[in-house]
Homo-oligomer: A and B are copies of this chain.
Amino acid sequence: MTGAALAPALARAGVTWRDDGQVILTGPALALADACDRAFLALAAPWGAVEERHPPFVAAAPLDRLDYFRSFPHLATFPVCLDDDDANLDAFTGTDPVRGDGTVGLTRTRPAREVLTPAACYQLYIHHAGARLDAPRYLTVRNTCFRREREYRPLRRQWAFQMREIVAIGARDEVRAFLDRTRAMVDALVAGLGLPAAWELATDPFFRPTENARYLLQRVSPTKHELVYDGLAIGSVNLHHDHFGATFDLERDGRPATSGCVAFGLERWLYALTDRFGADPAGWPDIEAAARAAAAEAA
């Protein structure tokens, strides 16, 4: 079903599509979004993953050490405030702060030092920087993530969206085993749901990709697979090698740690489930039960 046709039916289930490509959730749709998150937590449970909650801000400096801004300058959103001296604020309030076309007539702003996090897991590597691990560390985190795109479509491509991730930091074999087994759990989940989704080799959306060594590396040594439903990536499995481990001084038994993550886009799951099973909540599957069964099956 196309998005335009889906909107009125979904509205009855509690999804309001805003003009800006974002959504408001209530009622059954909100309950389904929360059930999706609990389902992903059920896939994290076999790992004993420790949950963390992080602010939506991440300092620009550590992200820069990952070459994030050269790789993805087009995606980044910066939180910006007016310089708060009275003269500058007077200049802002003295004219129309918001113009007729809806844009803000910002006067002088303070230099940005933060970025609104583009993924949920960056903060984990930064927070655990310097760790000396004698066992693999499993973590899980959910956050609002921000990626500027050229166009937005509610539930499918939003400037702000919810991401749940399960992360492993450890030796290479430990992280590979984590990714393989978690991917098997996701396979069991979509099979149990009857959701037609398949894994596809993918690359990250680099700026000037063919000039970026990390993009070229992703092409010759695949590290990212996306779970695709009807052309839409609803999850991904990512092997970072020691990219984060070396940058943030994470060691496993004296060597730079490997890391990997499995990520889920919550609004996209809401889209896939309602597209597949319809907008009537009576037809929605119990995704939490399906995830628990999948975790047990892949154990």
CB–CB B207/A89 < 8 A: yes
A84-B148, A113-B102, A148-B84 known; A53+B73 contact, CB < 8 A: no
CB–CB B144/A60 < 8 A: no
Residues of chain B within 8 A (CB-CB) of A51 are 26, 30
Interface stretch (choices A90-98, A223-231, A247-255, A282-290): A90-98
Chain B residue at minimal CB-CB distance from A81: B148
Q: Once bound together, how far apart are the Cα atoms of A63 and B113, in whole Å?
A: 26
CB–CB B60/A33 < 8 A: no
* Least CB distance, A218 to chain B, in whole angstroms: 18
The B-contacting residues of A in range 96-113, CB under 8 angstroms, are: 96-98, 102-104, 106, 109, 111-113
Is A50 engaged at the interface, CB distance under 8 Å to the other chain?
yes
Q: Once bound together, how far apart are the Cα atoms of A218 and B113, in whole Å?
A: 35
Residues of chain B within 8 A (CB-CB) of A59 are 20, 102
CB–CB B82/A112 < 8 A: no
CB–CB B24/A123 < 8 A: yes
Q: Once bound together, how far apart are the Cα atoms of A109 and B78, in whole Å?
A: 10
